[in-house]
Amino acid sequence: MYKLETKGLAKRYGETDALLPTDLQVKAGEFLTLLGPSGSGKTTLLMMIAGLVDPSGGQLLIDGKDATHAAAGQRGIGMVFQSYALFPHMNVWDNVAYGLRMRQVKGAALNSAVEDALAMVKMSDYAKRLPKELSGGQQQRVALARCFAYRPSVVLLDEPLGALDKKLREHMQLEIRRLHDDLGATFIYVTHDQDEALTMSDRVCLMNQARIEQLGTPQELYDRPCSRFAADFIGQSNLLDGRMTATQSFAAGAYNLSVESAYVPTNHHHEASTLLVRPEMAELVTPADGFVQGTVAEMVFLGSEIRARVKLDGMADSDELFSVRCHRRHAASLGDKVGIRWDVASTSVLMQ
């Protein structure tokens, strides 16, 4: 049995499909991330699970029971939003106690639940402060404590780190993942940041245009994207548009490239397709040794590595540069004529 299951769950606003009929199964204790571009339906799906938006069709099951129209307060679900939405006139302690008081928790039980929740997010020393006396990261911790205090079995988080700077974001990503592991609750986390999705999640649900594009572990999405969109959205990618030929090679521009051991999704035919080559699976070689040839147009310093960006010969209708990971000792120079090779087994042929 699943903790949460949607069957054809859908939402329309007038002529707009905010979410097309969607089937999704979420396991108990799982950390699932909804990832996708703006307007792809992430918040809509989350709000219907929370009971804050009424579905236009389909069904929601919680613990195997129909909860499609259950009141939000009866679902055992906690929610954390991008804006922390703390009560400005209440101190940290009262903010965390608020949801518990609403649920008639009192006295010693209230005290220990608030103190446990504050300890969990390392904010016990700040109980008497007002929200405006806290940093952004501290306010977000209080919002998390307020949600966790009543021990929901499902926690929904909608871009909770959106307002934080990069360093604090990365720190809080690890904190939230640790809190998930401590609580043992089911987490559904919304972000449009692919790095965040890959680092934090057990599974990622990639959304595009009001539907699920692909659902899988971070590694499955990275190594085996199901479409050009998925490959482009997750990780760095070189995408060569062309077509499969009868001889199991791939024709792109002036090249005939081997795809003998490449991954080809099962439902794929020989129509226009795209060859995906990840930059870290490619290397610069002499022009004669390369599968493709070109001229180094940019060198991008990324700290731990350098990316060579190559303008390919024989690709008349594409201005895209091909990225290749270089080790610092073997960096190339701008204007060098180079060849590029890659590990064919790591490439995929995708539908456009």
Ligand X SMILES: Nc1ncnc2c1ncn2[C@@H]1O[C@H](COP(=O)(O)OP(=O)(O)OP(=O)(O)O)[C@@H](O)[C@H]1O
Number of residues that bind Mg ion (CB under 5 A): 1
Q: Which does 44 bind (CB under 5 to 8 A by kind): ligand X, Mg ion, none?
A: ligand X
- Nearer to Mg ion among residue 46 and residue 244 (C-beta): 46
Binding partner selected for residue 36 from Mg ion, ligand X, none, CB under the kind-specific 5 to 8 Å limit: ligand X
> Which range of residues in 38-46, 71-79, 96-104, 320-328 is near Mg ion by CB under 5 A?
38-46
Binding status of residue 44 toward ligand X by CB under 6 A: yes
Residue 40 as a binder of ligand X (CB under 6 A): the answer is: yes
Query: Taking CB under 5 A as the rule, does residue 208 contact Mg ion?
Result: no
The 3 state secondary structure assigned to the chain is CCCEEEEEEEEEECCEEEEEEEEEEECCCCEEEEECCCCCCHHHHHHHHHCCCCCCEEEEEECCEECCCCCHHHCCEEEECCCCCCCCCCCHHHHHHHHHHHCCCCHHHHHHHHHHHHHHCCCHHHCCCCHHHCCHHHHHHHHHHHHHCCCCCEEEEECCCCCCCHHHHHHHHHHHHHHHHHHCCEEEEEECCHHHHHHHCCEEEEEECCEEEEEECHHHHHHCCCEHHHHHHCCCCEEEEEEECCCCEEEECCEEEECCCCECCCCCCCCEEEEEECHHHEEEECHHHCCEEEEEEEEEECCCCEEEEEEECCCCCCCCCEEEEECHHHCCCCCCEEEEEECHHHCEEEEC
Q: Which is nearer to ligand X, 91 or 214 (CB)?
A: 214
- Among 6, 43, 191, 273, indicate the residue that binds Mg ion (CB under 5 A): 43
Using rule CB under 6 A, residue 43 touches ligand X: yes
Residue 166 main-chain phi, psi, to 5 deg: -55, -45
Residue 91 interacting partner from Mg ion, ligand X, none (CB closer than 5 to 8 Å by kind):
none
**13, interface contact from ligand X, Mg ion, none, CB < 5-8 Å by kind:** ligand X
Q: Does residue 192 interact with ligand X by CB under 6 A?
A: yes
Q: Which is nearer to ligand X, 198 or 349 (CB)?
A: 198
Q: How far is the CB of 39 from ligand X (least distance, A)?
A: 4
38 binds ligand X (CB under 6 A): yes
- By a kind-dependent CB cut-off of 5 to 8 A, residue 18 interacts, out of Mg ion, ligand X, none, with ligand X
- Nearer Cβ to Mg ion (20/183): 20
Q: Which of 4, 18, 86, 349 binds ligand X (CB under 6 A)?
A: 18
Return residues touching Mg ion (CB under 5 A).
43
Return residues touching ligand X (CB under 6 A).
13, 16, 18, 36, 38-44, 192
